[in-house]
Structure 1
Amino acid sequence: MSSDQPLIRHPLTYLRERRGWTLSDVAELVRRRSVLNMATHRQKIYRWEHHQVVPELAAQLAIATEVGVDAQTVLNLGWPSWLLTVDGTEPLDQAWTPETAKQIMVGCVGADTDRRSFLLLSGDETVELAGTWAAVPTEKIIDASGGGTVDAEVATWVENRIHQLWHLDDLVGGDYCLHLAQADLQLIARLLQDGRYRSAVKRRLYGAAGELLRFAGWCAFDGDRHAAAARYWHAGLRTSAAGGDTLTGAYILSLMAMQHTYAGDGRAAINLLHAARERIGPGAPRTVHAMLDAWQVRAHAVAGESRQAVEVLFRADDHWGRRDPDEDPPWIYWMRQPSHTIEIGAGFVRLGRPDIAMHFLEDGMTGRGIDYTRDTVLGLTAIADAQLDQDDLDGALDTARRAVELVTDVDSSRVADQLNAFAQRLPAGEAQAEEFRTYLDTLPHR
């Protein structure tokens, strides 16, 4: 069983959906704008999207001409990366400097955030971005110049504001909080562009920008705006690096890993988590290592690697048992014992071990307060999935109804997706199941 939601995995697929093109439409425009005979080659376009086949340069240039991308961009970026520039996405190979970080941040402040169900970067591209981030020495990307009208008090206000957003997101979900994060991003972008500040304040502003971009990406991910999430996280990696904040950069990579896990690409997720772990090193807070390992468990589950999932879970709980909370970064306040997290439970459901999943999930639900409504709904939905896998239809529906009682208080498309996925698994023809599906369809936010 899998409740992971399908995402568009190729930029050409996304471009076709945006333009309303069929596979045959693409074949026809290539035939019309090139010397290639594509009129009957619908399957050829399919192979470009699904089998990593690279089109002839003439075919690429024909598509590029149709969408207004110049030939030099096609040659410089290659297939399929140049397709990303159709929507203004920044190339991944720009220099790691504060100025580039600022430009990319400003570029994504007004970006289209309604790109639902599109995974902007492939697994290989995301891992490549992680590798370049990990290879840049911190001291080379911190610009020590600056003047001084944005003072430490302003920097503190920005940092405190971000902390407030964290807790609001726990309560009401990412869809609502994304709009607040966008407004704050406009403010901090303006401070970085137009303000004058000393080097210490500048570093704090870049660090705050990295965390705010991380948060905006999380909100977009929670709202199924996957392409927007990737853009925010790309900018967040650069700005957190400019601020010398390696831990926030590692957190961003872990969220990118979660995105690929949800998209069904466990191997890319594992590679991203390895990159984060290697960059922060063994001396980083053990709670952070526990988080990275916890999320890697589900990635192994998606990859079908049960032995590795169990091994990493033991390592995660060991890190947790030896942690020093005084060393923790403030953003990891939500972390609990790894075996009690929803990601672990969902991973064991994926591995076909609903009994183990139930044990972990029920223990994890103990003590989860009303300040974590979204997590409560996600946990209940995962338990319902496990009960369904144990052929306990009555129990699964009872648990799912408890989740539905809370779901209208949470503005999170991810939560709705998980409940919908559960409803789709219910047996056809069962009166209780049909009643539940009908009720779910009537909820106002759906």
Structure 2
Amino acid sequence: MGGDRNLFHHPLTYLRHQRGWTLADVAELVRRRSGLNMATHRQKIHRWERGTVPELDAQFAIAEEVGVDPNTVLALPWPSWLLTVHGTEPLHEAWTASTAKLTLTGCLDASTDRRAFPLIAGDDAARLASAWAAVPAQKISHAANGGTVDTDVTNWVECRTRQLWHLDDLVGGDYCLNLAQADLQLVARLLHRGRYRAPVEQRLLGLAGELLRFAGWCAFDSGRQAAADRYWHAGLRTSATGGDTLTGAYILSLMAMQHTYAGDGRAALNLLHTARQRIGAGASRTVHAMLDAWQVRAHAAVGEQRQAIETLFRADDHWGRRTPDDDPPWIYWMRQPSHTIEVGLGFVRLGRSDIAVRLLEQGIADRGGDYTRDAVLGLAAVAAAELDQGDLGSALDTARRAADLLPGVESSRAADQLRAFAGRLPDGEPTAKEFRTYLESLPA
């Protein structure tokens, strides 16, 4: 049960594997298309796959060969634009333990991507969704270096993961992403170097799926959208291989939220439908309430007010009839759907700011001090709704409350919500200018 020698640590390596190219082949196509001197071709290409950034002419040459627009090369840093090449992420490979380990290893550098849009398009995301239908340090070190991985080690990883959930609630995804990445590297090392029996392998894959789900969430919260896609793709594979259907459904719901934020409500609805169908009607009602709550905002994104309201009634009905003992551990944060931020934002989008303010204020009142990011997001949403109602004074007061909390949260998503609010303020209003100045003065 040791390591897999056919793992790819860089998108260019995987692209070469997919196209059957050697290092010399890449050097030749770059020379042919750019005229660059590739005399030390093998060493140069090897360095590109180990972190060196190729000159722009070399990148343009590779892009031309694989059909990528030059504007994409300029927009995305190396090697992120390689992920836009069809086939460089193994979206359509078999759903096996081997491929799950490959995708896990392949996304361990994903946190370096800071692009603010997803690379998995709606159609590909839908196909991916369908395909998914306290331990001594010495013991961990031993397991990570070829020793036996037992339940003590897996219990420790599980405990670590749950601690990260609650830390994220308090401080946000920007801070927690590096911690999740470190734990992912440990789990990958255990999977590739450790010795274990099949039940332990299944549990490790399930834990990897949960960590990948969490890392994707942190990437999404910190504005690294392409990285989130890569984590979630790997998370779908590892959770499916580990037999964890609910975590897979959670990943699809987060992908749906990401598409809603990007303005693609229809793709979000499709992803949520797949998640709901896969877990079945007998699954936790709290999970169904979560899926419905996020579906409300997806309906709002495409202007479907009637469907949004009907879905909210269904979500609150699930919540009212839930049995907490049936819930997976990760849904501890869920509250009454009508009081969630996503539902409130949905009603803001539908132009029902009166409803949005009432629901969001109830939701903020329900939250304790351990959910600072949610408080910022909720207050920013209330401020936006009050501005829609023409109440500039209340909107600025609410936004100031959110901004006062912002220094304690490392969440690009929360900061972006406040910046978006500030961008809507009237230019000639002194109080609006004062708020913008205050917001800009806060630590980045």
RMSD (Å) for aligned C-alpha atoms = 2.5
**Structure 2 residue 62 is matched with structure 1 residue 68:** yes
Alignment of 1:91-170 (within 5 A): 91-111=90-110, 113-134=112-133, 149-170=148-169
Q: Distance in 2 between matches of 1:116 and 1:65?
A: 18
State whether residues 111 and 224 of structure 2, in contact with CA within 8 Å, keep that contact through their aligned partners in structure 1.
no
What do the CA deviations read for 1:292-343 (whole angstroms, capped 9, x no partner)? 0000000010111111100100110010011000000000000000001010
Residue in structure 2 matched with residue 365 of structure 1 by the alignment: 364
Q: Distance in 2 between matches of 1:203 and 1:281?
A: 22
Question: How many percent of aligned residue pairs carry the same amino acid?
Answer: 72
Q: Distance in 1 between matches of 2:238 and 2:409?
A: 30
Residue in structure 2 matched with residue 226 of structure 1 by the alignment: 225
Residue in structure 1 matched with residue 173 of structure 2 by the alignment: 174
State whether residues 348 and 357 of structure 1, in contact with CA within 8 Å, keep that contact through their aligned partners in structure 2.
yes
Q: Distance in 2 between matches of 1:130 and 1:391?
A: 42
Q: Distance in 2 between matches of 1:312 and 1:221?
A: 25
Residue in structure 1 matched with residue 265 of structure 2 by the alignment: 266
Residue in structure 1 matched with residue 235 of structure 2 by the alignment: 236
> Given the two structures, how large is their TM-score scaled by the length of structure 1?
0.79
Q: Distance in 1 between matches of 2:83 and 2:172?
A: 29
State whether residues 344 and 359 of structure 2, in contact with CA within 8 Å, keep that contact through their aligned partners in structure 1.
yes
State whether residues 380 and 403 of structure 1, in contact with CA within 8 Å, keep that contact through their aligned partners in structure 2.
yes
Q: Distance in 2 between matches of 1:407 and 1:89?
A: 38
Q: Distance in 2 between matches of 1:148 and 1:222?
A: 36
Residue in structure 1 matched with residue 40 of structure 2 by the alignment: none
State whether residues 113 and 220 of structure 1, in contact with CA within 8 Å, keep that contact through their aligned partners in structure 2.
no
Where structure 1 has 5 or more consecutive residues not aligned to the other structure, the ranges are 1-31, 35-62, 76-81, 135-146
Q: Which SS does the other structure have where 1:371 is aligned?
A: coil
Seen in structure 2, the aligned counterparts of structure 1 residues 417 and 85 have a Cα distance that, compared at 3 Å, is: closer
Residue in structure 1 matched with residue 302 of structure 2 by the alignment: 303
Q: Which SS does the other structure have where 2:214 is aligned?
A: helix
Seen in structure 2, the aligned counterparts of structure 1 residues 156 and 306 have a Cα distance that, compared at 3 Å, is: same
Q: Distance in 2 between matches of 1:133 and 1:148?
A: 32
Residue in structure 2 matched with residue 206 of structure 1 by the alignment: 205
Shift of 1:403: 0.5
Residue in structure 1 matched with residue 328 of structure 2 by the alignment: 329
Q: Distance in 2 between matches of 1:154 and 1:107?
A: 23
Task: Give the letter aligned to residue 259 of structure 1.
Answer: Q
Q: Distance in 2 between matches of 1:324 and 1:264?
A: 34
Q: Distance in 2 between matches of 1:398 and 1:87?
A: 48
Task: Give the letter aligned to residue 294 of structure 1.
Answer: A
Q: Distance in 1 between matches of 2:389 and 2:416?
A: 22
Shift of 1:33: 6.6
Task: Give the letter aligned to residue 330 of structure 2.
Answer: W
What do the CA deviations read for 1:133-168 (whole angstroms, capped 9, x no partner)? 11xxxxxxxxxxxx9810011010000100000000
State whether residues 64 and 74 of structure 1, in contact with CA within 8 Å, keep that contact through their aligned partners in structure 2.
no
State whether residues 111 and 177 of structure 2, in contact with CA within 8 Å, keep that contact through their aligned partners in structure 1.
no
Task: Give the letter aligned to residue 358 of structure 1.
Answer: V
Q: Which SS does the other structure have where 1:190 is aligned?
A: helix
Shift of 1:132: 1.1
**Structure 2 residue 244 is matched with structure 1 residue 245:** yes
Q: Which SS does the other structure have where 2:132 is aligned?
A: helix
Seen in structure 2, the aligned counterparts of structure 1 residues 112 and 339 have a Cα distance that, compared at 3 Å, is: closer
Shift of 1:212: 0.1
Shift of 1:205: 0.6
Q: Distance in 2 between matches of 1:87 and 1:164?
A: 37
State whether residues 82 and 88 of structure 2, in contact with CA within 8 Å, keep that contact through their aligned partners in structure 1.
no
Seen in structure 2, the aligned counterparts of structure 1 residues 67 and 112 have a Cα distance that, compared at 3 Å, is: farther
Q: Distance in 2 between matches of 1:112 and 1:371?
A: 25
What do the CA deviations read for 1:335-374 (whole angstroms, capped 9, x no partner)? 0000010100010000000011111111111131110000
What do the CA deviations read for 1:388-425 (whole angstroms, capped 9, x no partner)? 01111000000000011100000000000000000011
Q: How many equivalent pairs are there? A: 370
Residue in structure 2 matched with residue 389 of structure 1 by the alignment: 388
Residue in structure 1 matched with residue 142 of structure 2 by the alignment: none
What do the CA deviations read for 1:9-51 (whole angstroms, capped 9, x no partner)? xxxxxxxxxxxxxxxxxxxxxxx979xxxxxxxxxxxxxxxxx
Task: Give the letter aligned to residue 234 of structure 2.
Answer: A
**Structure 2 residue 415 is matched with structure 1 residue 421:** no
Q: Which SS does the other structure have where 1:95 is aligned?
A: coil
State whether residues 89 and 231 of structure 1, in contact with CA within 8 Å, keep that contact through their aligned partners in structure 2.
no
**Structure 2 residue 409 is matched with structure 1 residue 410:** yes
Q: Which SS does the other structure have where 2:112 is aligned?
A: coil
**Structure 2 residue 332 is matched with structure 1 residue 338:** no
Q: Distance in 1 between matches of 2:58 and 2:307?
A: 43
State whether residues 203 and 243 of structure 1, in contact with CA within 8 Å, keep that contact through their aligned partners in structure 2.
yes
Q: Distance in 1 between matches of 2:161 and 2:370?
A: 17
State whether residues 250 and 277 of structure 1, in contact with CA within 8 Å, keep that contact through their aligned partners in structure 2.
yes
Task: Give the letter aligned to residue 176 of structure 1.
Answer: Y
Seen in structure 2, the aligned counterparts of structure 1 residues 187 and 254 have a Cα distance that, compared at 3 Å, is: same
Q: Which SS does the other structure have where 2:120 is aligned?
A: coil
Shift of 1:183: 0.4
Seen in structure 2, the aligned counterparts of structure 1 residues 88 and 440 have a Cα distance that, compared at 3 Å, is: farther
Where structure 2 has 5 or more consecutive residues not aligned to the other structure, the ranges are 1-31, 35-56, 69-80, 134-145
State whether residues 67 and 86 of structure 1, in contact with CA within 8 Å, keep that contact through their aligned partners in structure 2.
no
Seen in structure 2, the aligned counterparts of structure 1 residues 67 and 119 have a Cα distance that, compared at 3 Å, is: farther
Task: Give the letter aligned to residue 441 of structure 1.
Answer: E
